[in-house]
Amino acid sequence: MIPHLLIIPGLGDSGEKHWQHFWLQKFPNATKVVQDNWNEPQLDQWLNRLTQTIHKLDQPTILVAHSLAVSLVLHWVAQNSNPNIIGALLVAPADVDSPDHTPDFLRNFAPIPTDKLPFPAIVIGTENDTYCAPERVQFLAKKWGSTFINIGYEGHINSDSDLAFWEEGQQFLNQLIAQINPTK
C-alpha cells in the first residue's frame, strides 16, 4: 500500500501537463501544498505553508518535491522534524546556489542545505536539466544520504518533458517505499 503522498510543486506550480498533477489524480491518498505566490517565491512564506501543511498530517507521509521544492524540503528538514514524514522523492532539484542555473530571485532559497536526511530518499536527475548539472544532483544526493538516479535525457522532468503519469517515477516511488522501514 502506498502511504500518503504530499505533493510539493516548485516555481510556478505544477500545471495540467505536469506529472505531479497526474499523480494527484491517480493517488487518492495524495494532497498538495498550495502556496500563495507561485511566481515570486519567498523562502520564509513557503516554509511556513509547508510547516502548516505537515503539522496537519496524521499518517505516514512521503514528500514528493519537484525543482525549487527540493530546496524547500531541505530547508524544512534543517529546522523541523515530524515522525509522520517517512521518506522523500526529490525530483530535478533546482540549483539555487548557481546563478548559471537559476534566476537571481531564487537566491533567497540558497544555500541549499546539505545535511543528511533523517529518512530514506531518492533523488532523481537528468543529463540535460538546465536548472542543475547532473554532477551537482549526484553530489547533493550523496550529501543527503540518498539514492541517486539519473534518468537520461528528460530535461527538467516537468510539463515540457511530457511524462503524463510518469510510470517510471511511480517505479521509483515503489522502490522508495521498499526502502522505508515499516517499523518506524
Tell me whether the omega of the peptide bond preceding residue 111 falls within 30 degrees of 0, making it cis.
Answer: yes
Q: How is the chain split into domains, by residue range? A: 4-179
Q: Write the DSSP assignment of 14-66 as a string of letters.
A: --TTSHHHHHHHH-TTEEE---S-SSS--HHHHHHHHHHHHHT--S-EEEEEE
Note the pTM of the prediction, 2 decimals. Answer: 0.96
Tell me which fold the domain 4-179 belongs to: Rossmann fold (3.40.50)
pLDDT tens digit string along 129-173?
999 999 999 999 999 999 999 999 999 999 889 899 999 999 999
Whether 29 has a pLDDT exceeding 80, the answer reads yes
Distance of CA 164 to the CA centre of its chain: 17
Residue 23 and residue 108: Cα distance in Å, rounded?
29
What would the pLDDT profile of 68-111 be if each residue is shown by its tens digit? Answer: 999 999 999 999 999 999 999 999 999 999 999 999 999 999 99
* Cell numbers at 90, concatenated: 526529490
- N- to C-terminal Cα separation, the chain: 16
For residue 91, list its beta bridge partners: 66, 124
Place of cell 496537519: 56
- In contact, 91 and 59? CB cutoff 8 Å: no
Distance CA 65, CA 92 (A): 9
